[in-house]
Homo-oligomer: A and B are copies of this chain.
Amino acid sequence: MRILTLGGWLMALTLLPMAYGELNLIPQPAHAVPGQGKLKIDQSFRIALTGYREPRLERAAARLIEHLESKTGMPLTRNLSSDAAGATLEISTTAASSPVQKLGEDESYRLEVGPERARLTAPNPLGILRGLETFLQLVEADKDAFAAPVIQIDDQPRFRWRGLMLDASRHWMPADVVRRNLEAMAALKLNVLHWHLSDDQGFRVESKRFPKLQEMGSDGHYYTQQQIREVLEFARERGIRVVPEFDMPGHTTAWFVGHPELASAPGPYTIERKWGVFDPAMDPTRDEVYRFLDAFIGEMAALFPDDYFHIGGDEVNGKQWDRNPQIQTFMREHSLKDNIALQAYFNSRLQPIVTEHGKKVIGWDEIFAPTLPKDIVVHSWRGQKSLADAARLGYMGILSAGYYLDLMHSAAFHYAVDPVENEAAGLNAEQQARILGGEACMWSEYVTPLNVDMRIWPRAAAIAERFWSPQEVKDVASMYRRLAVVSRDLEWRGARHASSHHLMIQRLADDHPVGPLATLSDVVEPVKEYAREEARQYTSFTPLNRMVDATRPESDVAREFGNLVDRALAGGSDASSSRDQLRHWLTLWRANDAALEPALESSFLLQELIPLSKDLSALGSAGLEALEYLANGRKPDAAWLEKQQAFLDGAKKSRAELLLMVAPHVEKLVQTAGRP
């Protein structure tokens, strides 16, 4: 058991023991047969590449060496052999992958670790890339040395499309942010980066054909075509497809700053600074719009090699269309009865353009119409029903409903969502096969390059396991244990989710000790779903420098505290030690406000935390009193119970856009103490 917090370690060490014997693999492989013994990994480690050979494989082997060096601290040789004799790890494949990675391309591999050597085989380099990640995860220190357990793994993914969507429009995400998240994706065997490149708040790609798009629509924050090519190359090296999204016909304000002629109302336009759904939309009725899109998509289709082109299509509110008499006339003339029909018309014109440039269309639920060709992909933010409906009609789909990382749900929440459950469970096998997988979505209203990693990792690793591992892999406790391990490893791979949390908490603490602030941060979570929108008027200029921005989406301490409460109340053999540990936490929290107060009083950024800090200390007191009642068997009187409940009702409310996640667990202690 391991909780990576500044404040929480004192207790963490006494929490659940690690389930020894279970491997630290995430995602769990499809089939694994453990053996006896271990393969020692020391400075004699050598890789041999046998069979088909290409530079990408050589670089992948070199990266494995680099990652093994990071993981062990041992300098290793970079020399690759082509002779299996003398090699610790033989890598062997028979043929090249597709020059442009294809949807559904074979990603299977076999990894055999013996006591003397290991062998990784796969039909193509893509499978080798996946298997190398598994091998790396197997290596750990034991009593004698670094070693990988003897095992035979036969692995392939459950879903073909395992994506992460990154919104680079609402907050700009420089190329190095994209690269370090691609590196983390590779570690989790994710295989699609869906790059949300345009929206009302920014147009983020250099168009040489229409340079006003980025020059006027991006505040100077856009990817040059050279940068994009470098990112694409970086992704291909790691077996990751990159699907660009240019959201149309809505979410297009940033296009219109430079090209108001595309809009359904006259300009001028400025870059949108607020969050939400806005009126501007492309005019579906004018041929010049399609001529523009033809030229633009032609340029982008040449830049992005993937077969798929994401056209967005979500959240067109239709207000510009309603207000434009020429559009209304057009709709009447073409018997388009409503804006849904008008958008379908738009898509019916757009799709052939995309097809003509060699791409297949993917778009959000709203684009779906049974008139579209069968090779389109429906990307559902609404749920499995959209996918099931489309699948019955022969259409493919991927799921993102339930996988929105910006909504601040727990890893367990996302882990429980399955693309082929709920409405999709009733599909026959052929229909179900049309559900290609899913994508975790990182919308960027409330993230910056500084905290975006913290919003993605490690939670997206639970989603990655859902997409890769067999459907029956569902043990939440096991997932959390392995999530903690991969979370540590991802920092070595360059993700900044842990380090940026530390940096941000220290920045908030300023000259004050960071510990008490970390203790508070460890037990709170940002408000859920869209509650931040209601809390205050955010814009793209609003500093994201408060506790809510520095705090992790999920409180490990609160989850473990809740487990302790359950064990203490269940009265099993560990009830007594659980009570001791509860007391330790509660005592820590009771004392925390006094320690934290000077910092909270001295900084305008921290003052909003004063009520939360006071409540945390009061939760400590309430919990300790409840434990005391439970221990001595006396019942509290009604006045005490009433007072505590009133306090707890308040403590559960959000303040500073944060929730005290331990409040419900303390409530359980209090209510149990009061139960006759």
Contacts and interface: CB of A to CB of B under 8 A. Distances in A.
Interface of A: 1-4, 6-10, 12-14, 18, 24, 43, 71-75, 78, 140-145, 220, 450, 485, 488, 491-492, 498-499, 502-504, 506-507, 509-516, 518, 540-541, 543-545, 549, 595, 601-605, 607
Contacts of A540: 75
A541 B75 contact: yes
Contacts of A506: 4, 488, 491
Contacts of A514: 2, 4, 9
Contact of A543 (B12, B73, B498, B510): B73
B604 A142 contact: yes
B141 A515 contact: no
30 contacts: A1-B513, A2-B512, A8-B515, A9-B514, A9-B515, A9-B518, A10-B10, A12-B513, A13-B512, A13-B515, A13-B595, A18-B511, A43-B543, A72-B545, A73-B545, A73-B549, A74-B543, A75-B540, A75-B541, A75-B543, A140-B510, A140-B511, A141-B604, A141-B605, A142-B603, A142-B604, A143-B607, A485-B511, A491-B506, A502-B502
Contacts of A220: 78
A515 to B, nearest CB: 2
Nearest to A605: B141
A109 to B, nearest CB: 25
Contacts of A71: 507
A499 B1 CA distance: 22
Nearest to A141: B603
Contacts of A145: 604
Given A485-B511, A545-B74, A6 B3 contact: no
A545 B71 CA distance: 10
Copies of this chain assembled into the complex: 2
Contact of A12 (B73, B515, B545, B604): B515
Contacts of A512: 2, 13
Given A43-B541, A507-B73, A144 B604 contact: yes
Interface of A is mostly: loop
A238 B220 CA distance: 24
Given A72-B545, A545-B74, A603-B143, A503 B491 contact: yes
B143 A2 contact: no
A327 to B, nearest CB: 37
Contacts of A488: 506-507
B511 A24 contact: yes
Nearest to A147: B604
Contacts of A18: 511
B502 A492 contact: no
Contact of A602 (B12, B143, B485): B143
A507 B490 CA distance: 12
Nearest to A482: B511
Contacts of A511: 2, 18, 24, 140, 485
A137 to B, nearest CB: 12
A9 to B, nearest CB: 2
Contacts of A6: 6, 9
Nearest to A15: B513
A10 B71 CA distance: 30
A512 B7 CA distance: 16
A441 to B, nearest CB: 23
Of A220, A512, A604, chain B has the most CB atoms within 10 Å of the CB of A604
Contacts of A24: 511
A46 B83 CA distance: 63
A513 B9 contact: yes
B9 A7 contact: yes
A12 B511 CA distance: 12
A504 B73 CA distance: 9
Contacts of A603: 141-143
Contacts of A516: 9, 13
A2 to B, nearest CB: 5
A482 to B, nearest CB: 10
Given A43-B541, A485-B511, 6 more contacts: A2-B513, A9-B514, A13-B512, A43-B543, A73-B549, A141-B603
A439 B507 CA distance: 31
A389 to B, nearest CB: 42
A530 B10 CA distance: 36
A204 B105 CA distance: 43
Nearest to A509: B2
A8 B10 CA distance: 11
B1 A510 contact: no
Closest 4 CB pairs of A and B: A9-B515, A73-B545, A13-B513, A74-B543
Contacts of A607: 143
Contacts of A499: 499, 502
A511 B489 CA distance: 11
A602 B513 contact: no
Contacts of A545: 72-74
A580 to B, nearest CB: 12
A73 B602 contact: no
Nearest to A542: B75
A509 B502 CA distance: 18
A541 B72 CA distance: 13
A544 B140 CA distance: 17
Contacts of A541: 43, 75
A67 to B, nearest CB: 12
A73 B602 CA distance: 18
Nearest to A543: B74
Contacts of A485: 511
